[in-house]
Structure 1
Amino acid sequence: MKIHLTSVFVEDQSRALRFYTDVLGFVKKHDVAVGEDRWLTVVSPEDPDGTELLLEPSGHPAARPYMTALVKDGIPAISFSVDDVRAEFDRLREHGVRFTQEPVEAGTVTTAVLDDTCGNLVQIMQGG
């Protein structure tokens, strides 16, 4: 068994697509209209046939309280692996990304947390 798809609720799918592709560097895999929303997934350009991330509309009544509670408590909704957290932190800051946690080392892991502009905190991590 392996993970094929995971999702993150987003407030605005178009804004999320721009952020996750233009800023974070993922590539669009699927974009299919489903009523007023879209089946919208992105993947890593390093693994285009790998795990897809569904940018899921946050219209479900449980989504908003869930997202708000995570952000309020500083909990990332999702985590991405990077080769060099400090270099990625610098690159993303140059793109205007707001971080809620600058790079922090914890044993063999270095993490940072950013705001995805779509209602979520995202952790980037190196090591482990």
Structure 2
Amino acid sequence: MIRIAMTSVYVDDEEKAHAFYRDVLGFETRTDLDLGGARFITVAAPGQDVELLLEPGDSPVAEQYRKGLREAGLPCIVLGVDDLRAEYERLSGLGVTFTEPPTEQGPLLTAVLDDTVGNLIQLAQPLG
């Protein structure tokens, strides 16, 4: 069986991204290796196997990809939540900037936030 083990999010600043995903979103640090000038940092939601690699986004390909997504207003990843309105209030209280407040989109309630390191992240909660 093939399964998703890890996926990447390109970030402007690995340390700032690590702090945001860990301290604000509540992810756990799974790996934090110093590779001599670069770091290999992965985080994951508690109890979840899939890890998120906080990858430096300074390559020309990564910069173009992130710029294109951002200009189109597209999130680079979707994170599931059980109570989106409560997370919206909690994160707003922590100073997180939302580009889209909670909005019903068919069978989902969604919101989009700025992760402070160059990306838009969508939060989604199934309705019903």
**How high is the TM-score relative to the length of structure 1?**
0.95
Deviation at residue 68 of structure 1 after TM alignment: 1.1
RMSD of Structure 2 on Structure 1 (CA): 1.0
Deviation sequence 1:58-102 (CA, Å, 0-9, x none)? 122111111111111100001100001111111100000000000
* Whole-angstrom distance in 2 between the partners of 1:16 and 1:120: 10
Aligned positions of 1:40-119 closer than 5 A: 40-47=41-48, 50-119=49-118
User: Which residue does 2:123 correspond to in 1?
Assistant: 124
Which consecutive residues of structure 2, in runs of 5 or more, have no partner in the other structure? Answer: none
Deviation at residue 35 of structure 1 after TM alignment: 3.0
* Whole-angstrom distance in 2 between the partners of 1:73 and 1:44: 27
User: Which residue does 1:14 correspond to in 2?
Assistant: 15
* Whole-angstrom distance in 1 between the partners of 2:55 and 2:126: 28
The alignment of Structure 1 onto Structure 2 pairs a total of residues equal to 126
Instruction: Find out whether 1:34 has 2:35 as its counterpart.
Output: yes
* Whole-angstrom distance in 1 between the partners of 2:54 and 2:87: 22
Which consecutive residues of structure 1, in runs of 5 or more, have no partner in the other structure? Answer: none
Percent identity reads 48
